[in-house]
Structure 1
Amino acid sequence: MDKLERGYVQIYTGNGKGKTTAAVGQAVRAAGNNLKVYMLQFLKTDPTGELEIAKLIGDKFQIFRFESKKGFFWNLNDEEKVILKKEIDTAYDFAAEVIKNNSCDVFILDEIMGVLSNGILTVDQVAALIDNKPENMELILTGRNVPDLIKDKADLVTEMKEIKHYMNKGVYSREGIEY
């Protein structure tokens, strides 16, 4: 496969584990079928397994990050939030260029809903990315709390719903499993 005939908009959301994992799985599948995949990660700065597998796959799966390490949004001071806003604006401009230039077959905006929830970008900005998506590009968005306008524009919405989680027993993020 060289190009998608038709690309759709997918959303992975919900309070359960697996949103980024599902997107990475889709990326690996697409790259394995000779499609070019870009993943733009928001609000993530720590090393993760997907960064390493993307390096092994090569230019068929590339991950981009524009943020410097700062910690969780709710712990940032005003100055750090201003810096983060500038970094996310740069990432947004990159996303708009990728879409404008049809630079990849599958484009993942990982944790874009977290950016919306924190008021760093607007719903209209993300809606514009969807509206400008080339016909043959698959666009995948992840994160909790999808605004209705974004949900309405999607072709597929999958909700990861927590039924039970070992985190509630004091088991937190584990290398190779959660990151």
Structure 2
Amino acid sequence: MERGLIHIYTGDGKGKTTAAIGQGIRACGRGNKVYMVQFLKGQSTGELSTLKKLEPDFKVFRFEKIKDFVWNLTQSQLKELKSQINTAFLFIKNTIKNCDCDLLILDEIMGVLSNNFIDTGSVIELLKNKPEKMEIILTGRDAPKELQDIAHYVCDIKSIKHPFQCGIPAREGIEY
């Protein structure tokens, strides 16, 4: 890429990760190396098995071992999760420093910020110091205004209606 830009996919609607993966597949299809670091996601998903087939051109990294929602965790588990998130963030810093990929996706980074595992200033500093040619996508609800201000693309994915509201649970192959 001649010039890498910053994207944010935020909002309460379904499809933020899906949009980021779609952009990653497009970049991969044009010969770019894609890394996706996923936060706060423990379960297996359909897209992970598909993306495995694109390795080494599209690699997914998960550092967290705890497979439950943040609000269900004990203090000890939260401490362990924060340590795992810090390990992932160090990996991201090194990936950026070493220019290991062309497109870097930070999936659910907004959840990391809203749960105070990492401060927004650290992410802003990371983005301001990214290599000129590296594209970065950030996903998750409630993107802070400070991040939106430095991004080149901001998409607010809004939920108008969702089957969950009618009691229909998440379905394999559609929601995960």
How high is the TM-score relative to the length of structure 2?
A: 0.98
> How many residues are paired up?
176
Which of 116, 121, 137 aligns to 1:119? It is 116
What code does the residue aligned with 1:10 have?
H
SS at 2:53 equivalent: helix
Q: CA deviation at 1:70?
A: 3.3
TM-superposed deviation, 1:59: 0.7
1:42 corresponds to which of 32, 39, 46: 39
5+ unaligned residues in a row in structure 2: which ranges? Answer: none
1:30 corresponds to: 27
Give % identity: 53
* Structure 1 outlier segments of 4+, above 6 Å: none
| 1:10-159 equivalences in 2 (<5 Å) | 10-159=7-156
Deviation (angstroms), 1:69: 2.6
**Displacement, 1:57?**
1.3
CA contact (8 A) 2:96 2:131 kept: yes
Q: CA deviation at 1:173?
A: 1.5
Shift of 1:140: 0.1
Q: Matched residues in 2 for 1:33 and 1:49: separation?
A: 23
The alpha carbon displacement at 1:139 in A equals: 0.2
CA contact (8 A) 1:11 1:140 kept: yes
TM-score, reference length from structure 1: 0.96
Cα RMSD (Å) of the superposition?
0.8
Could you report, residue by residue, the CA deviation over 1:99-123 in whole angstroms, capped at 9, with x for unpaired residues? 1111100000000000000011000
Letter in 1 for 2:125: A
Could you tell me which runs of 5 or more consecutive residues in structure 1 were left unpaired when the two chains were aligned: none
Cα distance in 2, alignment partners of residues 14 and 151 from structure 1: 12
Residues 10 and 154, structure 1, Cα contact 8 Å, conserved in 2: yes
Give the SS at the match of 2:48: helix
